[in-house]
Amino acid sequence: MKNPVFRENVIIITGASLGIGRQLALLLAEYGAWLALSSRNIEKLNEVSELCLQRGGRVIVIPTDVADQTMCQNLIECTVKEYGRIDTLINNAGLGMASRFDELQDLVVFEKVFRVNFYGCVYCTYYALPYLKRTRGRVVGISSLRGKFPSAIADAYGPSKHAMAGFLDCLRVELAGSGVSVTTIFPGWVSTGISSRALNVDGSLTSKLSIHEKNAMPVDKCARKIIKAIANRKREVVMTYQAKFGLWARLLIPGLVDQIAHKGTELK
């Protein structure tokens, strides 16, 4: 079986019912991983679980809203009860937002996105960390290029991904010498349908695919890059060459990067 690193590796994946999380689960099942899959969507989570079993993985399903600290604690405890340990935590659950900050009537939606994208990562990592120290395991966060660059609207998605990346950077330094690695992934647009599930100013779904998501990176390609990075305990992975160039451009000509970000919103 390919990638023996993950054979019988106990892996928790949040947001495993759709998109990147779903594809990670399917691929890791083929590698013989022991999976704990979580999501709010129980029906789709069960579908993914069945596919993973067919691919040779061992699977348990633990319905979880990562915005709820108690449910995150339960996710960790149920995983340890089933498998006896945790080797890898993949903080993948995420929620998009599509509204300007100055359009908000209150901060309810803003806070909701932050609880999922940032605090969901913090909660799960907090409860998993004692077990990961015992196995010299891996902490993984699926951020976004919007965790590296500004965007033209100050919705909660970009700031929450910046916060997630900052937390994981600090955690990496804190855990130096512990044997626990911390890997942060910065994908660009990936064909997952996330833009159609983003929240409008009133909390409703956009139900519309962004033009940026059309012809985006296939989810299978993205998931394989992530798995390779996790296996090699990479510090971080910026998915596209354009983004890597953009990081240098932001240091040298930040105004141009701001202009590009603003222009990008005009294409939506």
Question: What average pLDDT does the structure give for the chain?
Answer: 86
With a CB cutoff of 8 Å and minimum separation 6, the contacts of 68 are none
Determine which of 93-97, 101-105, 184-188, 200-204 has the lowest per-residue pLDDT on average.
200-204
Confidence of residue 217 (pLDDT cuts 50, 70, 90): confident
Please tell me the distance from the alpha carbon of residue 222 to that of residue 237, in angstroms, as a whole number.
Answer: 11
Separation of first and last alpha carbons in the chain? 42
Q: Could you write out the DSSP letters of every residue in 46-77?
A: HHHHHHHHHTT-EEEE----TTSHHHHHHHHH
For residue 213, pLDDT over 90 is answered with no
Please name the fold of domain 4-243.
Answer: Rossmann fold (3.40.50)
- pLDDT: which is higher, 83 or 101: 83
For residue 46, pLDDT over 70 is answered with yes
Strand-pairing partners, residue 138, are 88, 181
Encoded tokens for 40: 């709010």
Encoded tokens for 168: 């994981």
Is residue 264 exposed (0-12), middle (13-18) or buried (19+ Cβ within 10 Å)? middle
Task: Name the residue ranges covered by the structural domains of the chain.
Answer: 4-243
Residue carrying structure tokens 């993205």: 222
pLDDT at residue 260, rounded to an integer: 53
Active site includes 123?
Answer: no
For residue 101, pLDDT over 60 is answered with yes
The model carries a pTM of: 0.87
pLDDT at residue 246, rounded to an integer: 52
The catalytic position among 83, 126, 157, 241 is 157
pLDDT at residue 135, rounded to an integer: 98
Residue 250: left if φ>0, alpha if ψ -120 to 50, beta else—which one? alpha
CB contact at 8 A, 14 and 124: yes
pLDDT at residue 263, rounded to an integer: 57
